[in-house]
Every structure is written in structure tokens, then in C-alpha cells.
């Protein structure tokens, strides 16, 4: 079910957050399929290093822009990925995080309304909060603390989903809303505070592996290539009246301690595990039910955690030693 694009009639595609971790892989894939791509980023967490190998591509236009301000371009599709996605970054300026999710969605949905562009919204598993339902299904409304430290991101993304569906109902904007679960791979920010990048960098430097809580909390990790494939299938291979929301992630579930031990093994590190108090509102379980993705787009992740971690470690090893 892979979408192909005619090189004689390319789509003009906008990717916000296009210099970020996931965004850069999406830009790369869209260019490879013959699209004209407008990559927008304000470089708060994204970096030109992520797209440096693409800068000479004749079909790529790069713009430094903050989505909290309107953007006036002509496009056929919009992939809205702009927002810091790790606690370290989104809690640095929580008001700006909320504005990015909410004002950014309003501005990009307004652009989609004007240009009649198809609109993909990168939502998050964080809309489920600390879930009382496991694994998480799309029909679950979540258990979110609206005034907690993570609320700027959790509630910001929940509001962005609301806006998508209201623009769809009120203005006929063609939307696709995906709830993205923990994703990892090369080009992750080394200081983003996420568990995979944290563990790998600490292991490569021989520092203690900082594990919050007792390590029994669980996460599900999806390799970035698998996620990008799912995003494109969802956007291109489903009818316009299929809006989602749809979970995109790997249903394989691991404890954080299991992840730490696997990273130590794969890096050959002598790092020891060091326990720290669990942060506020940190979810105890996280695992997607991807039955909907399997049924509608014929997708499920292919890259196993050991293989994906090996690729990611190779990237960080070059970064740390380079």
C-alpha cells in the first residue's frame, strides 16, 4: 500500500517541524517520492544538521518560521509536526508549548482551509495521560492532569485534536489525526531528556544510567522508519472521510529497566543503573492498541527494538565521539 508520486505532477507539501527528529525523516521520504517540499522550523528543538544532506535538493524549500504566527504559502498537503515533544523541552517554556500546539494548529488549519490542502496532525499518546485503560485504544478519553507540569503538552495536543475535528465539521478541512507513541532513532536530540537518547548517551560516556522510579513502568518503542511509513499510508491511502484519530506506535511493551539493560549490553558500557524519584504525572504504562492501523492501512512495525537500538547507538556513537 505504498503511495507513489508522479515526478511530472508533484504535490507541494508543507512539513512544520521539518528539521526535527521525525520531521526530517518525513521530509526525506517525501522528497524521495518526487514531491516538492516546504520545510518549516523555528529551530527550537530541530536543527539544520538533520536536513543538511537535503539542502541542495532542487525540490526542497527551507523556511525559518514559528507556527504561532500565520504562514502564507500555497500547498496541497500539510503535515503539522511542530511542537517540542520531550519533557525537558516542552517544560522549558510551557506557555510557548501550549501556544505552539493551539495557535500553531489554528494557523495551519486556517492555511489548509484557504488552500483546500489535506491536513495531517501529529498528536501524541500523551493525550491518554496516565491511562486507566491498557493497552490504550482510540476510544479511550484519557486520564490527564490539566494543571500538572506536563499539561502544557498533554492538553495542548488534546486541544489541537479538538481544533482539527471542528475545522473538519465546520469548514470541511480534510484531516488525519495520528496519536504517535514513543518513537526513537537517529537524529534524536542528544539532550532531549527522552529515555532512549538519555540511556544511550549516558552509556556511551560511561556515566550512570539514570532510571526514574523503580524501573517497572512500561513504554512501547517504535523505530522512526516504521512511523514515517505509517504516517504516509494513513495520509495517502485512506479515504477523506477516515479522519482518525489513529494510534501509531509499536505494541511491544518493555519496562524501563529492560531498556536500560539492553542499552548497556548493546553499547558494551560499564555504566551502572542509578535510581531517581519518579517525575510528576509520569505514566506508569504506555502501549498502543494498533488494531485500527492494522485493519485500515495494513501497517504494523517491522523493526525490532534490538535492531533499532543498534542503529540509533551507531548514530549517537558518531555524535559523541565526533
- Catalytic residue positions, numbered: 153
CB 138 within 8 A of CB 247: yes
Tell me how far the alpha carbon of residue 73 is from its chain's centroid.
24
Q: How far apart are CA 292 and CA 156, in angstroms?
A: 24
User: What is d(CA 106, CA 271) in angstroms, rounded to the nearest whole number?
Assistant: 46
Residue in 212, 243, 204 with CA at minimum distance from that of residue 120: 243
Give, in degrees to the nearest 5, the angle at Cα 51 between 48 and 54.
130
β-sheet bridge partners, residue 123: 179
Angle, nearest 10°, between helix axes 305-321 and 195-205? Answer: 50
Q: Look at residues 60, 70, 85 and name the one whose alpha carbon lies nearest to residue 179.
A: 85
Peptide bond into 245 cis (omega under 30): yes
DSSP line for 93-162: SHHHHHHHHHHHHHHHHHHHHHHT-EEEEEEEGGGGBS-SSSSB-TT---B--TTSTTHHHHHHHHHHHH
Task: List C-alpha distances in Å: 271 to 82, 230, 268.
Answer: 34, 35, 9
Amino acid at each position: 500500500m505504498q503511495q507513489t508520486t508522479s515526478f511530472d505532477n508533484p504535490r507541494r507539501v508543507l512539513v512544520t517541524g521539518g528539521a526535527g527528529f521525525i520531521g526530517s525523516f518525513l521530509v526525506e521520504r517525501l522528497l524521495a517520492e518526487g514531491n516538492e517540499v516546504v520545510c518549516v522550523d523555528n529551530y527550537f528543538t530541530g536543527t539544520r544538521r538533520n536536513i543538511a544532506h537535503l539542502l541542495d535538493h532542487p525540490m526542497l524549500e527551507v523556511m525559518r518560521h514559528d507556527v504561532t504566527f500565520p504562514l502564507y504559502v500555497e500547498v496541497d498537503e500539510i503535515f503539522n509536526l511542530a511542537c517540542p515533544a520531550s519533557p525537558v523541552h516542552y517544560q522549558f517554556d510551557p506557555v510557548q508549548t501550549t501556544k505552539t500546539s493551539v495557535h500553531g494548529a489554528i494557523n495551519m488549519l486556517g492555511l489548509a482551509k484557504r488552500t483546500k490542502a489535506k491536513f495531517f496532525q501529529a498528536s501524541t499518546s500523551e493525550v491518554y495521560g496516565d491511562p486507566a485503560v491498557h493497552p490504550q485504544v482510540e476510544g479511550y478519553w484519557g486520564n490527564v492532569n490539566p494543571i500538572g507540569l506536563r499539561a502544557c503538552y498533554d492538553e495542548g495536543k488534546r486541544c489541537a485534536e479538538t481544533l482539527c475535528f471542528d475545522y473538519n465539521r465546520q469548514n470541511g478541512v480534510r484531516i488525519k489525526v495520528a496519536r504517535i507513541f514513543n518513537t526513537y532513532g537517529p537524529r534524536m536530540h542528544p539532550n532531549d531528556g527522552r529515555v532512549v537518547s538519555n540511556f544511550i548517551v549516558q552509556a556511551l560516556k560511561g556515566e550512570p544510567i539514570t532510571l526514574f522510579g523503580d524501573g517497572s513502568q512500561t513504554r512501547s518503542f517504535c523505530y522512526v522508519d516504521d512511523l514515517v511509513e505509517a504516517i504516509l499510508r494513513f495520509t495517502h491511502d485512506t479515504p477523506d472521510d477516515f479522519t482518525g484519530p489513529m494510534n501509531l506506535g509499536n505494541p511491544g511493551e518493555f519496562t524501563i529497566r529492560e531498556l536500560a539493560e539492553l542499552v548497556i549490553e548493546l553499547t558494551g558500557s560499564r555504566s551502572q543503573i542509578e535510581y531517581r524519584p519518579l517525575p510528576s504525572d509520569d505514566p506508569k504504562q504506555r502501549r498502543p492498541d494498533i488494531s485500527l492501523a492494522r485493519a485500515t492501512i495494513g501497517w504494523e512495525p517491522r523493526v525490532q527494538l534490538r535492531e533499532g537500538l543498534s542503529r540509533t547507538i551507531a548514530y549517537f556513537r558518531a555524535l559523541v565521539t565526533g
